[in-house]
């Protein structure tokens, strides 16, 4: 007889170690012809692994915790100490690798949503490892409306991925200054999933946003983009984070031109390295 789950709130038990989680999902996978599904399912983890190597993260590639191929993506755990590097440079490198692939590919264009989260998860080598609320929330972030809508709206030739960071990752890694990603390159959203009881504060990062995403007056479904409250912090003060909050609209704050140029340069460098 299988072991019964422990009853909650009846006794204190050790908290599992924290594990960082990285999940990716391909846009438009189900719309691809069935004959392409198997090849794309193998291609996505290969592109992720190539990017991990190019970003100097072979340790993550070789020691993935509870890895899973979801058909249209992958998910795996890793030590939270490596989260700053999974945020940057990995996301920019992955964007560059995808761009290099999409330029030369004869098959379907690969565009990804990427989610990063962290929390306590079992990782003991037993069946069931990696299962828990942080794992569920990671997939909810990946499937959230903002992540899907931003990628769908962006130009397919220039925007190859949209990353969504949980608020915990943003606060502990980005806002705290442990990552090379500046807080003003992230946009706050409410990560809600249609049909699910899920809505959490999260942050979008788009390494190479296209022009469709750079106009703060443009919004999705006619929803007005909220403006900063009177007297709210403005300018490039990293202690304040981002002053604007977006639910379903699009808004970039800070020096967009400078960030965009830096991002494109990084992506081109990564793409050049991927071709070599």
Per-residue pLDDT reduced to its tens digit, 147-200: 999 999 999 999 999 999 999 999 999 999 999 999 999 999 999 998 899 999
Kindly state whether residue 36 falls inside one of the protein's structural domains: yes
Please report whether residue 136 resides in a domain. Answer: yes
Could you tell me the residue range of the domain that residue 190 belongs to? 18-228+237-275
Q: Is residue 1 part of a domain?
A: no
Residue 81 lies in a domain: yes
Q: Is the confidence at residue 120, as pLDDT, over 80?
A: yes
Query: Could you report the per-residue pLDDT of 3-59, keeping only the tens digit for each?
Result: 787 888 889 989 999 999 999 999 877 666 777 787 778 889 999 999 999 999 999
In the chain, what percentage of residues exceed pLDDT 90?
Answer: 52
CB 57 within 8 A of CB 121: no
User: Contact, 24 vs 141, CB < 8 A?
Assistant: no
Residue 229 has pLDDT above 70, yes or no: no
SS in 3 state form for the chain? Answer: CCCCCCCCCCCCCCCCCEEEEEEEEECCCCCCCHHHHHHHHHHHHHHHHHHHHHCCCHHHHHCCEEEEECCCEEEEEECHHHHHHHHCCHHHHHHHHHHHHHHHCCCCCCCEEEEEEEEECCCCCCCCCCCCHHHHHHHHHHCCHHHHHHHHHCCCCCCCEEEEEEHHHHHHHHHCCCCCCCHHHCEEEEEECCCCCCEEEEEEECCCCCHHHCCCCCEHHHCCCCCCCCCCCCCCCCCCCCCCECCCECCCCCCHHHHHHHHHHHHHHHHHHHHC
pLDDT of residue 86: 97
Is 7 within a domain?
A: no
pLDDT at 31 (0 to 100): 67
Give the pLDDT of residue 82. Answer: 97
Write down the pLDDT at residue 276. 38
Is residue 84 a contact partner of residue 179, using CB atoms and an 8 Å limit?
yes
**Model pLDDT for residues 242-262, shown as the tens digit of each residue:** 334 443 344 443 333 333 333
In this structure, is residue 245 part of a structural domain?
yes
Mean of pLDDT over the chain: 79
| pLDDT for the residue 215 | 61
Domain CATH number, residue 81:
3.30.70.1230
- Count of structural domains within the chain: 1
* pLDDT for residue 89: 97
Residues 6+ apart with CB under 8 A from 26: 40, 44, 72, 73, 110, 111, 112
Per-residue model confidence (pLDDT) at position 127: 78
Give pLDDT, residue 214. 67
Q: Is residue 97 one of the residues assigned to a domain?
A: yes
Confidence of residue 213 (pLDDT cuts 50, 70, 90): confident
Q: What is the pLDDT of residue 143?
A: 94
Confidence tier at 216 by pLDDT (50, 70, 90): low
Residue 58 included in any domain: yes
């Amino acid at each position: 007889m299988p072991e019964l789950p422990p009853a909650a709130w009846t006794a204190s038990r050790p908290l599992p170690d924290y594990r960082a989680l990285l999940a990716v999902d391909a846009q438009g996978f189900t719309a691809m012809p069935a004959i392409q599904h198997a090849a794309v399912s193998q291609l996505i983890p290969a592109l992720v692994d190539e990017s991990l190597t190019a970003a100097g993260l072979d340790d993550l590639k070789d020691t993935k915790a509870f890895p899973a191929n979801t058909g249209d993506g992958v998910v795996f755990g890793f030590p939270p100490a490596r989260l700053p590097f999974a945020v940057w440079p990995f996301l920019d490198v992955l964007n560059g690798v995808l761009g290099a692939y999409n330029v030369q590919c004869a098959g379907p264009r690969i565009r990804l949503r990427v989610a990063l989260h962290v929390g306590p998860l079992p990782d003991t080598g037993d069946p069931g490892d990696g299962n828990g609320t942080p794992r569920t929330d990671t997939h909810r972030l990946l499937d959230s409306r903002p992540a899907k809508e931003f990628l769908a709206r962006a130009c397919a030739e220039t925007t190859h991925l949209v990353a969504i960071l949980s608020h915990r990752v943003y606060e502990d890694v980005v806002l705290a200054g442990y990552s090379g990603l500046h807080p003003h390159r992230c946009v706050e959203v409410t990560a809600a999933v249609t049909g699910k009881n899920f809505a959490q504060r999260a942050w979008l990062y788009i390494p190479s946003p296209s022009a469709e995403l750079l106009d703060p007056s443009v919004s999705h479904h006619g929803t007005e983009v909220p403006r900063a409250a009177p007297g709210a912090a403005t300018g490039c003060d990293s202690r304040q984070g981002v002053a604007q909050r977006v639910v379903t609209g699009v808004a970039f704050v800070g020096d967009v031109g400078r960030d965009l140029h830096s991002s494109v340069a990084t992506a081109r460098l990564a793409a050049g390295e991927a071709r070599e």
